[in-house]
Chain A
Amino acid sequence: MIKATPKPLDEVISYIKDYNKILVAGCDGCVTVCEAGGMKEAKVLAASLRLYFQAQGKEAEIKETTVTRQCDKEYLDELKDLMESADAVISIACGVGIQYLTENYSKKIVFPGVDTHFMGANIDRGIFEERCAGCGQCVLASTGGICPIARCSKRMLNGPCGGSDNGKCEISKEVPCGWQLIYDRLEALGQLDRFETPVDPKNWATSRDGGPRRIVREDLRKAEPAHGGAH
């Protein structure tokens, strides 16, 4: 899922210190799983901000809530009343949710309360690792299920490079060489013949490099009426 981390409290305070009706809007989706923006975190942030205002001797009304997710308008609509009564909103959803909330409540001031990082897996509680770079053309079938875009620092398609050192990437001893991992896995699967034919250059247009992306699934949309029948 998308992984995010809470922003430092002093940064959040710097955004909202001059407002006095604040809403902390969390999300029950990805940010709940990585413990950055769910109900627990919304309550902690709201309580911290209340304590801040009280310690300053300032009046402030701080409310907190979560919705099922902030990337769907039907859930954002549920926030209507709370949004109306707030001067400023801190959204602790992922970057998608923060933006979609802003789009759907364009007259409101919305600040981010988390930093959004990557699509990753939960290795253990509090430990998250990037696994998918969202390149739009998955090659996992030919790399034994290990992604050379997300796990190779250079996103090579015919790795490893000369910087692969005892199974570690040259950028850090903590980072395994993605291609070493791929090689070991393909060896275990008996698919080392994959290395006999180099793979063609990737079409990066489906990745971030092609600009902001949009998907239209025609199969999920309503069909056009066949014979101009009653609307």
Chain B
Amino acid sequence: MRLQYPTNIHIIKVPCTGRVDLIHLLLAFEQGADGVFVAGCLEGDCHYMHGNLYARKRVGRAKEILDTIGVGRDRVEMYNLSAGQGSRWAEIAREFTERIRGLGPSPIRVAHEKKAA
């Protein structure tokens, strides 16, 4: 569809969001991500039956951990859309980017950069 969406998004493709585990979400933040979102199929349409349902729970656990350590639950999110929803993808990308811009850089990344300086 050649729609424009923000360029600051690094996409990691998985065969199903059920493949995404809690540790992957945490490692992304450890490595300096300001925000992480998991985009899975519409609920009920998962080709592997419940992968996207497990993913939602794992994103929930990540939110709790990020809240406890002071990074904030809003930096990680679960979205559901179908592979055919190009405009929804662009909308999610824009929406999430706006949200993270509003929150500012992740305190982890700030700490890394201070250390490197």
Q: Is the interface of B mostly helix, strand, loop or mixed?
A: helix
Q: Is there contact, CB below 8 Å, between B70 and A55?
A: yes
B9, CB-defined interface residue at 8 Å: no
A10, closest chain B residue (CB): B68
Q: State whether B111 touches A54 (Cβ < 8 A).
A: yes
Q: Which of B12-36 contact A (CB under 8 A)?
A: 21-23, 26-27, 29-30
Q: Interface size (B, Cβ < 8 Å)?
A: 19
Kindly state whether residue B108 has any CB partner on chain A within 8 Å: yes
The proximity string for B residues 88-117 relative to A, scoring 1 for CB distances below 8 Å and 0 otherwise, is: 000000000000000000011001101000
C-alpha gap A48/B67 in the complex (Å):
11
Q: Is the CB of A54 within 8 A of B107?
A: yes
Within 8 A of B (CB), among A26-72: 40, 43-44, 47-48, 50-52, 54-57
- In the complex the two chains form, is B111's CB within 8 Å of A47's CB? no
Determine the chain A residues whose CB is within 8 A of the CB of B27 once the complex forms: 47
Closest chain-A Cβ to B49's Cβ sits at a distance in Å of 14
A13 at the A/B interface (Cβ < 8 Å)? yes
Residues of B within 8 A of A55 (CB): 69-71, 107-108, 111
Q: Is A9 an interface residue (CB 8 A)?
A: yes
Is B68's CB under 8 angstroms from A44's CB?
no
Judged by a CB distance under 8 angstroms, whether B65 is at the interface is yes
B64 contacts across to A, CB distance below 8 A: 9
Complex CA gap A54/B69 in Å reads 10
**Residue of A whose beta carbon sits closest to that of B70:** A55
In-complex Cβ contact of B26 among A8, A47, A56 (8 A): A47
Decide if A43 touches B23 in the complex (CB within 8 Å). yes
In the complex, how many angstroms separate the beta carbon of A40 from the nearest chain B beta carbon?
A: 7
Contacts of B70 in A (CB 8 A): 52, 55-56
Asked if A51 meets B114 with Cβ closer than 8 Å, knowing A43-B23, A44-B23, the reply is no
Binding site for A on B (CB under 8 A): 21-23, 26-27, 29-30, 64-66, 68-71, 107-108, 111-112, 114
- 22 example contacts (A-B, Cβ-Cβ < 8 A) are as follows A9-B64, A9-B68, A10-B68, A13-B69, A44-B22, A44-B26, A44-B65, A47-B23, A47-B27, A48-B69, A50-B30, A51-B30, A51-B65, A51-B69, A51-B71, A52-B70, A54-B30, A54-B111, A54-B112, A55-B70, A56-B70, A57-B107
